[in-house]
Every structure is written in structure tokens, then in C-alpha cells.
Amino acid sequence: MFCYSFLRHYSRQVFQSTIFALSSGQGKCGVAVIRVSGPCAGNAIKHLTAAQELPQPRRATLQKLKHPHSGEVLDKGLVLWFPAPHSFTGEDSSEFQIHGGVAVINALLNALGLIPNLRLASPGEFTKRAFYNGKLDLTQAEGLSDLLSAETELQRKQAFLQTEGCLKNIYNDWKKVLVSALANLEAYIDFHETEVLDADLVTNTMTSVRQLSGDISKHLSNGIRGERLRNGVKTVLIGETNVGKSSLANILCNRPLSIVTPLHGTTRDVLEATLDVAGYPMILNDTAGLRSQTSDIIEQEGINRTIKACEEANLILLVVDCENYLLWYKESKTKNFLNFLTFYTQNLNIFHILFDKDLTFKKECIIIANKVDLVKENDLIHFQAFKSVISCTSMKGVDTLTGIIIDKLKLLCGEPTKEHPSMNQIRHREYLTLCLKHLESFLNDRQSFDNNVVFMAEKLRKALRQLDKLTGTFTTEQLLSVIFKEFCIGK
Ligand SMILES: Nc1nc2c(ncn2[C@@H]2O[C@H](COP(=O)(O)OP(=O)(O)OP(=O)(O)O)[C@@H](O)[C@H]2O)c(=O)[nH]1
Ligand SMILES: [Mg+2]
């Protein structure tokens, strides 16, 4: 009968060493938390408090903490005892909440180092132990790492849902589908020549694998949003020289990121700022203004960099000078906005980056007309085609523009939800893509079911293996060290 032995599950591991580290942030603070985990975590409490008995589990008690050799009182703080398996790591653990001064922390860390079998933890070691002890899977561990690095509200939300197991649940459900499909195939292999099997067995198996393959494809294409939310939306300000790109960059950043002068070609480099826009992370680039003719090699290099940034951008803020637009408008016979955009972007040599041949946008783009304060009242009517008409000098239209930017960020990142959590890392994409490849290859073999069924089962096994790698049911020490080294010490 079907053998499940290729599923290598991690059973609870017993580590010999007991590790400790400062788990709260570095530097002076009100309260610092030192965490200890491993077989001697209880001993740590006994050595530092000189008590015979351990405190009641999970109850904070205020105790004097003493040097394990001299008995000198180093500090007074809360002591907590978490016997295994009811702790973060799944091991015996203890926690000391002490005064957050640098010398106090060092004194306690030195004291712990004197206790036999205790050593300082390496980065991510607590979480790694939690993983080995089945407290969390790899996607949850990654979520935890992201939660510690989250800088915006929606990054926090996405990471938190992941620590809660939202991705894990989806991937485990998919694994169940594959395990059951494999069981069907095994039944078919073993019995179809000798016994009467359910007539729908093959059809049902194919249907469930097809459904799964559709779900994974959808998850992969939606995943691009989660990746943007995790990494930040690369947003590039682009346009002719002197149109006010840097002025707008400074407004969006709320600080003088770039130099602004009345001279054309002021900005030479790509300047970058990371912003939190209504909870969405934005990596904003101000760039060198584009013009076709320049003999200045520094400016030319700036322009090359602008083009590169534009190619890599998720969102383009294309800035146009109102007065320049009016000049075009008054001379134009068609007065067609798309004609203007073609003319403008062709002049700047970025038409091919922004537009497909049929004049649809390749990238998300907001077209902004700046310096509206210089436009006469009766000319304002000619700007109706612009979504955003602003003045960086008077701030007119800037709030509306911010709203438009937020809408675009929503579109690009989506909103993380419990029901439809998004994959968000290259690691996820790699394994899911491989999994899908095996499933598609399986589905394409449909015609040769009878002669090929053993071979087909192997394809499902390979697909399942990718999901196992994703959740860490099957993994290598090498991969784990890459994931856990992202963590700080004490987590
Ligand atoms: N009247 C008016 N002047 C503006 C406005 N925005 C910017 N300026 C002025 O336009 C000039 C150019 O502004 P920048 O922000 O340096 O323009 P830029 O597009 O970054 O220019 P480059 O870096 O040379 O490509 C400066 O003198 C700004 O003060 C505006 O809304 N109205
Ligand atoms: Mg500039």
C-alpha cells in the first residue's frame, strides 16, 4: 500500500545546551528582558535567586538577583519560569525582567555566563529551537522575522497574519489534497487489475489536482502584491528638467531630500527615501531630469540612472510643467492627451518603458501637472485630462495627489487578509513555481494514465516535496541557517 515515509516530519528535539540573550532592544530602556532556554533554564533561576525551589510556572515574582559566585545583589526584577513544552521554544525557559541600564544588563548577562552549561544565544536561535520543537513552521518563523522588521502598519499586518499560520494553513491544506490524490493513485496501482474500484477515482483525482494547480497559479500571481508590501513599492519621480520633481519629492518626504534650484539639471543622482504612506511602504526615488541634449557627462550619467530606475519602478510619477503643456496644447491640432503623452515621453526617451505599442500603460503611472500657480484662470480648463494638477509652491492639489497615490499603492500591494494571505518572498515563489510545474506535468500526462500511473505518482510526490520544503517539513540545515540568520540575537 501507499507509503508516506517520504514525508520527513521533525519530532521534538532535545538540545544539550542552554542559551541566553537579551531579548529586548539594545541600549538604555526602562525594562530589559533576558531570556534563557534549554535544560538548565531552571538552574539559571536557582543560581541567580539562590532559591531551592522554582517559582510557580508562568507567575511573575519579584526577586533579588544575585551574582552566582559572590552573592552580591546585582538587581531586583521579575522572574518567570516556563517549563517545557509551554514556552516559546518548547523547551524549559526562564525570563528575567530587569532594570534596562546598560551596566545592569551586562552584569546579569555576565552572571548567566558563569552558570554551568549556559552560553550566549546566536541570532535567531530561540526561534530555530521553536521551529525544531514544532512550535512554528518555516513560514511562521519568516513571518516573525518580518514582524520584527515591519516598518508600516500593513507590513505589520501581513507579517502578523503569517506568524498566526495563515500561509501555513493554506500550504498544509494543499498538502492534504496531494496526499489524498497520491493515496488514490496508489490504490489504482495496487488494485485496478484485480478489483473493481470506484469508477470516479481517476476523474476525481484529476479534478482535485487541476483545482489545486489553479489555486497555486492564482496564489502566485496575487503573491506579487505581498512581495511589494514586504519589500516596498518602488516609486520613481520622472520628467523633464526643472518641472519640480525634487520639490514634490521633498513635499512627499516632508524633509529636504533633494536640492531645489531654478537651474535645469540640478538633480544628478537618484535620491532615495523610504516612506510610510497610509501604512504602505514606498521607496521613493527622485531622479535627474531628462533632456535629449546634454554635453555634461555627469548629467548624462544621471540620465542613464534615471532610465534604469524607471525600468525597475512599480509606480511612476510622471511630472509635467503646466506652462510647457500649455505651449504644446495651443500648438496642437488634435489636443489629444494621449498624443501629448506620446510626444512628451518620446522626447524623454521613456515611451517604450511606459507604454505598449497600443498606447496602454505597461506600468502603474500617475501623470502630474505641476506649477499650476503660473497658469492663468482661463487656461485651467485645458488641464482636465490630468488626474493630478498641483502646485508645489502653494501646495494646491497635493492632498488630492496623495489620495491618488494611496489608491495606487492599494492596488499594487492589496490588503493582507486572513482568508487570502499573500506569499511574499522569493523562497515561496521558487517552491510554489516548482510545485506547479510538477502538477502541470502530471495533468498533461492524463492520456497515458494506465501505462504511466507509477511515473505520474512520482510527479505528485515531487510536487508535495516542494510544499514540504516551503513549510519546513522537509528542509536542510543550510536553508535554515539562511532564514534564521536574518533574526537578531535574543529572538
Ligand atoms: N511657481 C512654481 N515654481 C515651482 C513649483 N515647483 C517647483 N518650482 C520651482 O521650479 C524650480 C525647479 O524645481 P525642482 O524641484 O528643482 O525641479 P526638478 O524637476 O527637480 O529639476 P531638475 O532636478 O533640474 O530636473 C525651482 O526654482 C522651484 O522652486 C511650483 O509649483 N510653482
Ligand atoms: Mg531635481
Supply the CATH number for residue 51's domain. 3.30.1360.120
Provide the residue range defining the domain that includes 58: 18-136
Which residue of 246, 368, 383 sits with most ligand 1 atoms within 8 Å of its CB, as the best mutation to test the pocket?
246
Label residue 96 left, alpha or beta by phi (over 0 means left) and psi (-120 to 50 means alpha).
Answer: beta
**Is 411 among the domain residues?**
no
Nearby residues of 380 by Cβ (< 8 Å), 6 or more positions away: 372, 389
**Is 487 among the domain residues?**
no
**Is 129 among the domain residues?**
yes
**Is 163 among the domain residues?**
no
More confident residue, 212 or 482: 212
Q: How far apart are CA 325 and CA 473, in angstroms?
A: 60
Q: Whose CA is nearest to atom 14 of ligand 1?
A: 244
70-92 in b/e burial notation, b at 16+ Cβ within 10 A? eeeebbebebbbbebeebbbbbb
- Same-domain status, 240 and 376: yes
Cα 239 to averaged position of ligand 1 atoms, centre (Å)? 11
Residues with CB under 5 A from ligand 2 (ion): 245-246, 266-267
Q: How many domains does the chain have?
A: 2
| Domain end residue (candidates: 136, 167, 188) | 136
**Rg from Cα positions in the chain:** 30
Q: How far apart are CA 440 and CA 433, in angstroms?
A: 10
Q: Is the pLDDT of residue 120 over 60?
A: yes
Strands (E), 361-456: 364-370, 388-389
Q: How far apart are CA 275 and CA 283, in angstroms?
A: 6
Ligand 1 environment, Cβ below 6 A: 241-247, 260-262, 264-267, 289, 370-371, 373-374, 391-393
Cα 359 to averaged position of ligand 2 atoms, centre (Å)? 28
Cα 335 to averaged position of ligand 1 atoms, centre (Å)? 26
- Same-domain status, 126 and 238: no
| Domain end residue (candidates: 365, 393, 421) | 393
Question: Any idea what the CATH number is for the domain that residue 255 is in?
Answer: 3.40.50.300
- Same-domain status, 236 and 132: no
Residue-wise pLDDT tens digits, 168-183: 999 999 999 999 999 9
Q: Whose CA is nearest to atom 11 of ligand 1?
A: 262
Mean pLDDT of the chain: 92
Q: What pLDDT shows up at residue 196? A: 65
Nearby residues of 57 by Cβ (< 8 Å), 6 or more positions away: 81, 82, 83, 86
Atom of ligand 1 nearest to the CA of 372: 31
- Same-domain status, 121 and 264: no
Residue-wise pLDDT tens digits, 2-40: 333 333 344 455 678 999 999 998 888 899 999 999 999
Cell of 403: 489620495
**Is 273 among the domain residues?**
yes
Q: Counting beta carbons within 10 angstroms of the beta carbon of residue 276, is it exposed (0 to 12), middle (13 to 18) or buried (19 or more)?
A: middle
| Domain end residue (candidates: 136, 170, 204) | 136
Cα 243 to averaged position of ligand 2 atoms, centre (Å)? 8
Cα 413 to averaged position of ligand 2 atoms, centre (Å)? 28
**Is 307 among the domain residues?**
yes
- Cβ(40)–Cβ(115) below 8 Å: yes
Cell of 248: 514634490
Residue-wise pLDDT tens digits, 366-417: 999 999 999 999 999 999 999 999 999 999 999 999 999 999 999 999 999 9
Q: What pLDDT shows up at residue 5? A: 33
Cell of 204: 476525481
Q: What pLDDT shows up at residue 454? A: 86
Which residue of 260, 285, 317 sits with most ligand 1 atoms within 8 Å of its CB, as the best mutation to test the pocket?
260
